[in-house]
């Protein structure tokens, strides 16, 4: 059951959705619990995703992608989330396919595009974005990782944490301060660092309350040297790159949230139709019926908003404030609706064998990463009211 067919869906999108579902059934579902226990998705899964064309759907064919639009990526993210695999919709594909490859496509040199994008599409290269630090999260003004000029290159020193794809990554887009003489977000640059570089090390695969098989890591840079061609975009212009790409990042998170809501409602409707209490199906009780009606209405309205955002982004017209609204509303709704769905499962909702329990813990981080709900409110307020 889908909340509604998207206004932009075509037969091509339907075929893609079917491809994703078949991939999930064959390549994800039989192994997911094993990966959750291990705390990581095996590296070879990336290449399987690539071989099915699921890693770069909206990257031009000349760089190894499928040549589609953002709507194709939206179908993929929604389907993984709807089936309860938030790790794929968010930290894996959300970072690699939704964000990193567009940093390179939109701001990279010709050589960088040719070097990285085809292997990212095939799954041969997995990317991570090293932004967050122990003392700098949503506020990039606190970045302490530095990249100092040496000859025609840079020497990078610093530490990052909470980095998605940190254990599996082959290349890291590092946010670093290249001009310490200026304050705040000025003087920040983005640098491409290959994981086999001297001085680059991975720390722990961090344990989380949810998204257990997402490899979320500490990364360390100890006198890591990169050449000048590692600079992504302009020197000291990294903050502008980050800001330009934030609408895409926040919308990918919103799409994942909406897909997770859709999946949770599907499981809940199926369960309450079958579960008996006091000699009748749970679905016959007024409280249950009204609660489901409320949740479905909320989700259906949210679908219309997100679809409008998807259409806007596809033509380059989605602004930062609207994307922040989408992220704020969808992630907050996800937390509320999934919690209500779990309540309708009763004690079984608290058991790990039921997917609603995983959906509950996986949902919590959605209001944190990609910019907290509080940061989203500030961005929206600044757009409406000024500083």
Cite the active site residues: 249
Alpha-carbon distances of 145 from 134, 175, 179, 204, 245, rounded to whole Å: 11, 7, 11, 19, 21
Q: Map tokens 């998204």 to a residue.
A: 211
**176: which strand partners?**
189
Which structure tokens are listed for 138?
């949503």
Coil, strand, or helix at residue 210?
Answer: coil
Q: Map tokens 């100092």 to a residue.
A: 148
Say if CB 200 and CB 165 are below 8 A apart.
Answer: no
Q: What is the maximum alpha-carbon separation in the chain?
A: 79
Alpha-carbon distances of 59 from 194, 231, 253, 351, rounded to whole Å: 21, 21, 19, 40
CA gyration radius, the chain: 21
Which structure tokens are listed for 243?
């800001």
Angle at 202 between CA 199 and CA 207, to 5 degrees: 160
Q: Rounded to 5, what percent of the chain is helix, strand, coil?
A: 55, 15, 30
Q: Is 351 left (phi over 0), alpha (psi -120 to 50) or beta?
A: beta
Distance (Å, whole) CA 319 – CA 50: 30
Say if CB 292 and CB 333 are below 8 A apart.
Answer: no
Distance (Å, whole) CA 74 – CA 77: 5
Coil, strand, or helix at residue 135?
Answer: coil
């Amino acid at each position: 059951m889908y909340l509604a067919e998207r206004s932009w869906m075509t037969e091509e999108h339907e075929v893609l959705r079917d491809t994703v579902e078949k991939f999930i059934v064959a390549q994800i579902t039989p192994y997911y619990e094993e990966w959750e226990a291990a705390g990581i998705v095996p590296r070879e899964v990336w290449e399987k995703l690539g071989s099915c064309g699921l890693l770069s759907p909206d990257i031009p064919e000349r760089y190894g992608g499928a040549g589609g639009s953002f709507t194709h990526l939206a179908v993929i993210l929604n389907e993984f989330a709807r089936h309860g695999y938030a790790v794929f919709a968010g930290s894996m594909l959300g970072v690699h396919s939704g964000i990193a490859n567009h940093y390179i496509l939109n701001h990279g040199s010709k050589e960088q595009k040719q070097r990285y994008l085809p292997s990212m599409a095939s799954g041969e290269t997995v990317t991570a974005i090293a932004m967050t630090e122990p003392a700098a999260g949503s506020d990039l003004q606190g970045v302490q990782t530095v990249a100092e000029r040496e000859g025609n290159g840079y020497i990078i020193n610093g530490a990052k944490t909470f980095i998605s794809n940190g254990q599996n990554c082959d290349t890291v887009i590092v946010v670093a301060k290249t001009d310490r003489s200026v304050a705040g977000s000025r003087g920040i640059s983005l640098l491409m660092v290959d994981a086999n570089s001297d001085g680059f090390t991975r720390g722990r695969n961090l344990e989380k309350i949810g998204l257990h098989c997402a490899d979320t890591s500490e990364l360390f840079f100890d006198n890591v040297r990169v050449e000048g061609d590692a600079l992504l975009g302009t020197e000291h212009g990294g903050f502008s790159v980050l800001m330009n790409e934030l609408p895409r990042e926040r919308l990918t998170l919103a799409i994942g949230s909406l897909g997770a809501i859709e999946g949770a409602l599907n499981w809940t409707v199926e369960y309450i139709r079958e579960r008996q209490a006091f000699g009748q199906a749970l679905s016959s009780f007024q409280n249950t019926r009204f609660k489901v009606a409320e949740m479905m209405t909320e989700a259906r309205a949210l679908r219309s908003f997100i679809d409008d955002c998807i259409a806007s982004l596809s033509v380059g017209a989605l602004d930062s404030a609207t994307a922040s609204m989408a992220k704020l509303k969808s992630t907050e709704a996800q937390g509320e609706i999934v919690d209500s769905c779990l309540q309708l499962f009763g004690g079984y909702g608290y058991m790990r064998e039921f997917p609603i329990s995983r959906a509950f813990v996986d949902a919590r981080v959605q209001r944190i990463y990609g910019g907290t709900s509080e940061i989203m409110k500030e961005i929206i307020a600044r757009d409406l009211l000024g500083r």
